[in-house]
């Protein structure tokens, strides 16, 4: 089992940067791919970034290229999402997730590949 707790959200101004953190418990976190999703009111949850279990491979959807940076520190059982040049449309609840599989080195990119989810952290960007 893996438990995930996000932190680092808040109310920020457009143009600023934010670093979200995901603290994991459970011995298998560093054996799983990890991802960050977000869900804005009235919209579907969407992937913003994902990373392989080793941290050597990352994936960003085309729509998220350039302003998001995902990273992880397996020694600390933690993952991070850096968001630069924040925009009001980035306002959403951001979720950390860990993959179902523990035997793959690939980057999980589909939501069905993720089995463990945090409670989310709210990011609100004012214009």
Quick one: 86 exposed, middle or buried, by C-beta within 10 A (0-12, 13-18, 19+)? buried
Predicted pLDDT at 66:
87
pLDDT band at residue 124 under the 50/70/90 scheme = very high
pLDDT one-digit tens code per residue, 57-106: 999 998 877 899 999 999 999 999 999 999 999 999 999 999 998 877 88
pLDDT tens sequence across 25-49: 988 888 999 999 999 999 999 999 9
| Mean pLDDT value across residues 107-123 | 96
Tell me if 80 sits within 8 A of 96, measured CB to CB: no
Beta strands in 43-91 (DSSP E): 46-51, 58-59, 68-73, 78-83
């Amino acid at each position: 089992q893996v438990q995930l707790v996000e932190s680092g959200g808040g109310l920020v101004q457009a143009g600023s940067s934010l670093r979200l953190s995901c603290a994991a418990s459970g011995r298998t976190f560093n054996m799983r791919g990890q991802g960050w999703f977000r869900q804005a009111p009235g919209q579907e949850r969407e992937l913003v970034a994902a990373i392989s279990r080793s941290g050597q491979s990352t994936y960003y959807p085309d729509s998220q290229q350039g302003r998001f940076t995902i990273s992880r520190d397996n020694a600390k059982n933690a993952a991070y999402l850096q968001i630069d040049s924040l925009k009001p449309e980035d306002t959403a609840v951001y979720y950390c997730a860990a993959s179902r599989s523990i035997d793959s080195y690939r980057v999980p990119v589909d939501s069905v590949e993720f089995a463990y989810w945090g409670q989310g952290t709210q990011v609100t960007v004012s214009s």
